[in-house]
Amino acid sequence: MTTDKKKKKKKRKFYSYYVTVSNDPNVSARNHRMSGGSQIFWKVVVAILAIVITGFIAYVNYNGTVILSREEAFKSKISELEETNAHLTADNAALTEKINILSETVNQKVEAEAEAEEKSVPNGFPLSVAADFEEKDEELRLDGQTVKRPMLVFKASDGAYVVAAGDGIVTLAAQERTYGYEIQVDHGNGYVTSYRTNTEPKVKEGDEVSRGMVLFEVDSDNDDLAEVAYQILQEGEYINPTDLLEING
């Protein structure tokens, strides 16, 4: 039996040659040889680098897109907030104006109420002219007891006027036994004033009167001075009229 010797085939190796040339005339050109394996290696490296670079560029572009999208969203949100702030500022200005108007109205109302309350206090002089007066106690018999009520009795000349000492409502305008006629004014704050003289009243029950308004015109007989009796009740109790006149001037 004949044994054939098989010739082993040698793998062919492929090489690439590269020549590097320098600009320096004193340096000669150099040949570089690169095997097929090295070429594959560097191709893989280049491919990987290309993939990495491409991925990096894609990542940067994606991030850039995301950032731009977020910036647009932020800008849109900022625009909305600015618009909302503008509306709120306008609303705040309108509310401030309303508050100022309301505050001014309330202040005016408070001032008007304070002024009305002050005018309702019967501290005015009950005659239109200066007149002499004396303090007296009016004595009455009530339930078997003698009751004293402080009063002022003015001596008024003919043509003088008995006037309201403060704002209020007439609750009594009628005849009475001692002086002839009586007017009572309820001032709405616990005070009631009583005016009595010999002439008919110029007002009637239910009339609203203001401080200084005429209640009677004094009519003296035979040039004698007419008497005008003046009393003040506070919460149903008679008080000395001079006390209120002194306190309030």
- 241 and 138 within one domain: yes
Provide the 3-class DSSP secondary structure of residue 187: coil
Q: Is residue 126 part of a domain?
A: no
- 234 and 143 within one domain: yes
- 233 and 137 within one domain: yes
What are the pLDDT tens digits along the chain (249 aa)? 444 545 555 556 555 655 666 666 766 666 666 666 777 887 888 889 889 888 888 888 888 788 888 888 888 889 889 989 999 999 899 999 999 998 888 888 888 777 878 888 999 999 999 888 999 999 888 888 888 999 999 999 888 999 999 999 999 999 999 999 999 999 999 999 999 999 999 999 999 999 999 999 998 776 678 899 999 999 999 999 998 875 444
Q: Is residue 1 part of a domain?
A: no
- 63 and 17 within one domain: yes
Neighbour-count burial for 77-107, b at 16+ CB within 10 Å, e otherwise:
eeeeeeeeeeeeeeeeeeeeeeeeeeeeeee
Distance, CA of 219 to CA of 222 (rounded, Å): 10
Q: Is residue 196 part of a domain?
A: yes
pLDDT for res 249: 41
Domain-ending residue, one of 67, 98, 120:
120
pLDDT for res 11: 57
Strand extents, DSSP E, the chain: 15-20, 30-35, 132-142, 145-156, 161-163, 168-176, 180-186, 191-197, 208-209, 214-217, 226-234, 237-239
CB-based burial of residue 215 (10 Å sphere; 0-12 exposed, 13-18 middle, 19+ buried)? buried
Q: Note the pTM of the prediction, 2 decimals.
A: 0.59
pLDDT for res 121: 92
Domain at 196, CATH number: 2.70.70.10
Provide the 3-class DSSP secondary structure of residue 242: helix
Structural domain including 114 reads: 13-120
pLDDT for res 22: 64
Contacts for 203 with CB less than 8 Å, ≥ 6 apart: 170, 173, 183, 209, 213, 215
Q: What share of the chain is helix, strand, coil (3-state, %, to 5)?
A: 40, 30, 30
Domain-ending residue, one of 120, 145, 173:
120
- 158 and 102 within one domain: no
Return phi, psi of residue 66, to 5°: -60, -45
Contacts for 17 with CB less than 8 Å, ≥ 6 apart: 31, 32, 33, 34
- 208 and 144 within one domain: yes
Number of domains in the chain: 2
- 37 and 137 within one domain: no
pLDDT for res 247: 45
Domain-ending residue, one of 58, 89, 120:
120
- Provide the Cα torsion 191, 197, 200, 204; round to 10°: 0
Q: Looking at the DSSP assignment, which residues form a beta bridge with residue 31?
A: 19
Q: Is residue 55 part of a domain?
A: yes
- 136 and 242 within one domain: yes
Return phi, psi of residue 100, to 5°: -60, -45
What's the Cα-to-Cα distance from 227 to each of 128, 151, 160, 183, 219, rounded to whole Å? 14, 12, 11, 15, 10
157 in Cβ contact with 225 (< 8 Å): yes
